[in-house]
């Protein structure tokens, strides 16, 4: 197989590219900063600007495209930041979809990343059939997903992966929480009762590979572990595996004052379930948070 990953230089893209390459799959990474990337066995780096896609002559046609582009949402949501967050998703996505429709040999699969913030937050459990919310991120996720509409009813199999925060010790959201906890500064944000949906990075890469290789996968998927937990339980578990006390509480009004709209990333409840993955018998390697955090934090 030959997979094109846009946004492949980032946290998820590099984990995924390495995982696919280790499994003998050829990967071409699209990036705006090719000098910062290192070509590896099975991994080729190609420049693009996100607006136009012209691939150099390649000996192996592209079988699938994975779109992971998007500027980080963990920044102050000023009007210009919101525009950048939006444009960095919508524009590359339209470029990739247009390329898929017009290239001579059409890719068999297109995987579009989206987020679980698509849903109405603070609601009860959400599954794939639940409606879109009305927050900035919900509306953005909807518009982002809709850029792929031109691929509906084409030979390209379309998958939309509504992804939960991916846990790995090297990257947010876990990295800052892990560092704070190890320094005895772990804290419970707000009431701590808000739900936290999550996924271990190994499940993320395995699910992506499954979606590429198994044509039964099609349409919208919540890509999250089957057991979301209250934020308080998440922090207590992290403190437990790090063998540290958890004594700090940060009231929600302080977080709202400090972070503005962005505080919703921590304070809103995300109780999302992977109904479709379970229905297709995906067996999670890390279904429970204690097991996931123990594996991630153990010294290798």
Write out the residues near ligand NAP by the rule CB under 6 A. Answer: 7, 9-13, 31-33, 50, 68-73, 88-89, 92, 113, 115, 163, 165-166
φ and ψ at residue 207, rounded to 5 degrees: -65, -40
Within 8 A by CB and 6+ apart from 300, the residues are none
Between 7 and 190, name the residue whose CB sits nearer to ligand NAP.
7
Q: How far is the CB of 166 from ligand NAP (least distance, A)?
A: 4
- DSSP H stretches of helix in 64-223: 79-102, 136-146, 174-182, 201-213
Query: Cβ closer to ligand NAP: 35 or 300?
Result: 35
Closer residue to ligand NAP in complex, CB, 78/154: 78
**CA 131 to CA 45: how far, in whole Å?**
38
Q: Which residue is nearest to ligand NAP (CB)?
A: 10
Nearer Cβ to ligand NAP, position 90 or 248?
90
170-192 residues labelled b (16+ CB within 10 A) or e (exposed):
ebebbeebbebbeeeebebbbeb
Q: Angle at Cα 292 formed by Cα 244 and Cα 225, nearest 5°?
A: 130
Closest approach of Cβ 253 to ligand NAP, in Å?
Answer: 27
- C-beta of 31 vs 263, nearer to ligand NAP: 31
Cα→Cα distances 122→32, 40, 194, 270, Å: 37, 43, 8, 7
- Within the chain, strands assigned E span 2-6, 26-31, 43-47, 64-67, 109-115, 157-163, 166-167, 187-189, 195-196, 199-200, 219-223, 229-230, 248-250
C-beta closer to ligand NAP: residue 30 or 242: 30
Handedness of CA 185, 298, 195, 120 (dihedral sign): positive
Q: How many Cα atoms within 13 Å fall on the side-chain side of residue 49?
A: 2
Q: What's the CA gap between 173 and 82, in Å, rounded?
A: 19
Q: What is the smallest separation between the CB atom of 78 and ligand NAP, expressed in angstroms?
A: 17
Is residue 67 within 8 Å of 25, Cβ to Cβ?
A: no
| Nearest distance, CB of residue 257 and ligand NAP, angstroms | 25
Helix, strand, coil distribution of the chain in percent, nearest 5? 40, 20, 40
Report the residue number, 210 or 244, with the smaller CB distance to ligand NAP. 210
Output 166 or 255, the one with its CB closest to ligand NAP. 166
């Amino acid at each position: 197989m030959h997979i094109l990953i846009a946004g492949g230089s980032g946290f998820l893209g590099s984990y995924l590219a390495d995982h696919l390459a280790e499994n003998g799959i050829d990967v071409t990474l699209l990036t705006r900063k090719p000098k910062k990337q290192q070509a590896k066995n099975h991994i080729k780096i190609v420049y693009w600007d996100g607006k136009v896609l012209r691939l150099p002559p390649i000996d192996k046609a592209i079988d699938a495209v994975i779109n992971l582009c998007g500027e980080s949402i963990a920044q102050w949501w000023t009007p210009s930041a919101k525009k950048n967050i939006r444009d960095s998703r919508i524009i590359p996505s339209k470029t990739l979809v247009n390329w898929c429709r017009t290239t001579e040999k059409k890719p068999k699969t297109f995987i579009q990343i989206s987020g679980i913030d698509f849903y109405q937050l603070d609601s009860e459990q959400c599954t794939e059939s639940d409606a879109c919310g009305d927050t900035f991120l919900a509306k953005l996720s909807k518009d982002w997903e809709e850029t792929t509409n031109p691929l509906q009813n084409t030979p390209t199999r379309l998958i939309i992966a509504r992804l939960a925060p991916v846990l790995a010790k090297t990257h947010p959201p876990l990295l800052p929480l892990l560092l704070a906890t190890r320094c005895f500064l772990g804290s419970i944000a707000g009431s701590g009762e808000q739900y936290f949906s999550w996924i271990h990075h190994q499940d993320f890469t395995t699910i992506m590979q499954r979606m590429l290789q198994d044509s039964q996968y099609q349409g919208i998927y919540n890509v999250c572990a089957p057991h979301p937990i209250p934020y308080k339980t998440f922090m207590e578990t992290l403190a437990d595996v790090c063998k540290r006390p958890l004594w700090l509480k940060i009231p929600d009004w302080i977080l709202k004052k400090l972070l503005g709209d962005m505080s919703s990333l921590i304070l809103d409840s995300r109780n999302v379930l992977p109904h479709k993955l379970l229905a297709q018998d995906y067996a999670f390697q890390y279904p429970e948070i204690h097991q996931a955090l123990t594996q991630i934090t153990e010294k290798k």
